[in-house]
Structure 1
Amino acid sequence: MTAPSTETGVIISDEAAAKAKSLLDQEGRDDLSLRIAVQPGGCAGLRYQLYFDDRTLDGDKSDTISGVRLVVDKMSVPYLMGAKIDFSDTIESQGFTIDNPNAGGSCACGDSFN
């Protein structure tokens, strides 16, 4: 795992950064950031959104990790402080995962938290 960043407070593994960089390279654009946000929703109350974004929002916190610009909006920063983004590519699962020490609990489907 990469050391915690000073701006976003989010930790991104080397595997997750490499996968995000690979996806960004496929897009052929250098203006996209990997944005992680917390939004109301899901059966536990809050859900994560992880997507590529070309916008800059007022109050965004950002870090560049292994060539990937990671962006968190100002409202999501407190919910994501110390969260770890990883990428799994196994027979059982493939995709980005978020391990968040701030989550008090999660739903059975693993899609939302509180």
Structure 2
Amino acid sequence: MTTPETQTGVTLTEAAAAKAKALLDQEGRDDLYLRIAVQPGGCAGLRYQLYFDDRELDGDKVDVISGVKLAVDKMSVPYLTGATIDFADSIESQGFTIDNPNAAGSCACGDSFN
């Protein structure tokens, strides 16, 4: 099975897309992007930001996955190519997770990487 080419280079699993779509539906919004970005900060040097955004920035890469518009800014694309966003819902944890093969190391909190 081959993975289809994407603009963002990021994979959004069915579970993550379904949760994002449910949150958007709950708010009655279909105009928002699920944005993932890499910003300086955190204890390991870089940290992820995952949030809903009502704007498309110049140079954004956008994919539509299961009805969810996923946006990555042009500066974050190199850090996120090959990353997978999933949604975990178990006794141990609940929330969006990011598996990034580009991260050389991460901190104990899992919120930042280098």
The equivalent of 2:49 in structure 1 is 49
The equivalent of 1:85 in structure 2 is 85
2:108 corresponds to which letter in structure 1?
A: A
Task: Map residues 1-114 of structure 1 onto 2, 5 A cutoff.
Answer: 3=3, 5-114=5-114
Aligned CA RMSD, in angstroms, stands at 1.2
Residue segments in structure 1 that go unaligned for 5+ positions in a row: none
Q: Secondary structure of 1:44's match?
A: coil
Judged with a 3 Å threshold, the aligned counterparts in structure 2 of structure 1 residues 72 and 38 are, in CA distance, closer, same or farther, namely same
Q: Secondary structure of 1:102's match?
A: coil
Q: Secondary structure of 1:37's match?
A: strand
1:84/1:100 contact within 8 Å kept: yes
Q: Secondary structure of 1:88's match?
A: strand
Distance 2:45 2:57 in 1: 23
- Would you say how many aligned residue pairs link Structure 1 and Structure 2? 113
Q: Secondary structure of 1:79's match?
A: helix
Distance 1:75 1:39 in 2: 9
The alignment's TM-score, normalised by the length of structure 2, stands at: 0.96
Q: Which moved more, 1:51-60 or 1:3-12?
A: 3-12
- CA deviation string 1:24-70 (max 9, x = no partner): 00110111010000000000000000000001111000000000000
Percent of aligned positions that are identical? 82
Q: Secondary structure of 2:58's match?
A: coil
2:21 corresponds to which letter in structure 1?
A: K
1:29 corresponds to which letter in structure 2?
A: R
Return the offset for 1:4.
Answer: 5.1
1:44/1:106 contact within 8 Å kept: yes
Q: Secondary structure of 2:92's match?
A: coil
1:42 corresponds to which letter in structure 2?
A: G
Return the offset for 1:111.
Answer: 1.0
